[in-house]
């Protein structure tokens, strides 16, 4: 028995000896496969595209319309700092600048204003459309529809001569205030007030909304707000308008899309959200607790922060000064004082500065506008920037069609409904 065991053990050892090289080879092969897999995974990983959510940091095209100059932290329109434009120009001059690249002479401005004033009226059919809107509809929804209706009055396409789109842009610049005011009056159950040709754009808008023109302090502040809101490079609504334009669609479609984008509270609607917050706070004494509660809940405080500005929004000091003038004129510093409490904490503790919407919200409130009118007023101004970008896109067009990284299910076979 012992001899048999010894023979078996010797045979087992010999077998193991023979198998050892095979095992080593197998291990080597497995190690190679693992290395190849890892290398392949690395290559695949390297090939996977970088995702830039919200296109943050992505440069998609060139523009000569506006830029935030990093060396001065100033927003510029066609090379002019907005604070300088607000101090020295009326809104009509800035509209001319947007579309023609240079500030107008007196003669050019007179011709521009005469053209705009002659286009302010809207047709009876258009008035009838506005009268049918639900009274509870948001003014941005009714304005979006009104601009879209304007597009039905002619057949327009992208890529047409710039002169044609400049004429359409002028039509919208002149008629959008009339559309907004007409809808406002109808929602109030009031008779509409027709536009006047002897008033500036700002004066005429107050006239159509309220039946009177306010003091010069109010008109000046309103004009400043229109200048500051006129343009801001490739923001969400402008990019929307350029994407639509890139498909060779018409300017009315592009502006309608821009209005839809601007409505959102992360974009144009932020000025409405700011005023809702101030009304919720009510008094300066309640401001700090309100802000601490918001921060504790991890909620966004509207009116603060901006993706583009690193040292604070360059438009804010100009609008803040206009707000101070309005508060002095009105004899009401409540909203200014609440704003100060919020601003001091946000800057002092978080290093987050207010954006233009923060002073604009209470400014429009002091002027007498209802909160849901704020973003339509923004449209009155931004039509100038949108039109400039639409014309620029048409002049050097390429269809905007980015890629996406698919993360859904792998390709699979369809089962007939009887087998699902």
Catalytic residues: 267, 306, 357
DSSP 136: T
Q: Which residue has the tokens 């057949």?
A: 155
For residue 117, what are the β-bridge partners? none
Asked if residues 151 and 390 have their Cβ atoms less than 8 Å apart, the reply is: no
Determine the Cα–Cα distance for residues 245 and 157; give it in Å rounded to an integer.
9
Determine the Cα–Cα distance for residues 345 and 355; give it in Å rounded to an integer.
15
Angstrom distances, CA of residue 295 to CA of 273, 276, 299, 300, 345: 16, 17, 6, 8, 11
Determine the Cα–Cα distance for residues 170 and 159; give it in Å rounded to an integer.
18
Determine the Cα–Cα distance for residues 160 and 165; give it in Å rounded to an integer.
7
Determine the Cα–Cα distance for residues 153 and 75; give it in Å rounded to an integer.
36
The total of other beta-carbon atoms located within 10 Å of residue 418's CB is 5
Element (H, E) at 80: strand 80-81
Q: Which residues contact 369 (CB under 8 A, 6 or more apart)?
A: 209, 377
**End-to-end alpha carbon distance in the chain:** 66
Helix/strand number for the chain, H first, E second: 17, 3
Asked if residues 304 and 271 have their Cβ atoms less than 8 Å apart, the reply is: no
Q: Which residue, among 283, 420, 401, has the nearest Cα to 342 in the 3D structure? A: 283
């Amino acid at each position: 028995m012992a001899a048999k065991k010894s023979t078996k053990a010797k045979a087992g050892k010999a077998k193991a000896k023979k198998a050892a090289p095979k095992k080593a080879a197998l291990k080597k092969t497995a190690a190679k496969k693992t290395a190849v897999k890892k290398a392949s995974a690395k290559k695949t990983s390297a090939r996977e595209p970088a995702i830039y959510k919200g296109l943050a940091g992505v440069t998609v095209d060139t523009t000569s319309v506006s830029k935030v100059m990093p060396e001065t932290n100033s927003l510029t329109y066609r090379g002019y700092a907005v604070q300088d434009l607000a101090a020295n120009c009326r809104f009509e001059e800035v509209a001319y600048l947007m579309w023609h690249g240079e500030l107008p002479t007196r003669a050019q401005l007179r011709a521009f204003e005469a053209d705009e004033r002659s286009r302010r009226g809207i047709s009876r059919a258009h008035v009838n459309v506005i009268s049918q809107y639900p009274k509870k509809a948001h003014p941005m929804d009714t304005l979006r529809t009104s601009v879209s209706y304007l597009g039905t009055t002619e057949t327009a396409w992208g890529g047409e001569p710039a002169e044609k789109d400049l004429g359409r842009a002028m039509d919208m610049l002149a008629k959008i205030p009339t559309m907004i005011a007409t809808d406002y009056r109808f929602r109030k159950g009031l008779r509409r007030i027709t536009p006047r040709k002897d008033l500036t754009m700002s004066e005429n808008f107050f006239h159509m909304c309220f039946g009177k023109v306010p003091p010069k302090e109010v008109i000046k502040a309103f004009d400043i707000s229109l200048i500051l809101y006129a343009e801001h490079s490739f923001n969400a609504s402008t990019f929307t308008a350029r994407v639509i334009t890139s498909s060779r669609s018409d300017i009315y479609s592009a502006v309608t899309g821009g209005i839809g984008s601007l409505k959102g509270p992360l974009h144009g609607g932020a000025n409405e959200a700011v005023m809702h917050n101030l009304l919720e706070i009510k008094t300066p004494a309640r401001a700090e607790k309100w802000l601490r509660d918001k921060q504790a809940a991890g909620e966004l405080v509207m009116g603060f922060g901006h993706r583009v500005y690193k040292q604070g929004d360059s438009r804010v000091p100009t609008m803040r000064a206009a707000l101070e003038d309005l508060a002095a004129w009105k004899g009401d510093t409540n909203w200014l004082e609440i704003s100060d409490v919020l601003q001091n904490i946000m800057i002092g503790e978080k290093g987050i500065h207010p954006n233009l919407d923060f002073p604009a919200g209470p400014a429009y409130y002091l002027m007498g506008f209802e909160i849901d009118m704020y973003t339509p007023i923004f449209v009155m101004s931004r039509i100038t920037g949108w039109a400039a970008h639409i014309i620029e896109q048409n002049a050097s067009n390429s269809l905007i069609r980015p890629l996406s990284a698919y993360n859904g299910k792998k390709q699979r076979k369809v089962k007939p409904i009887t087998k699902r």
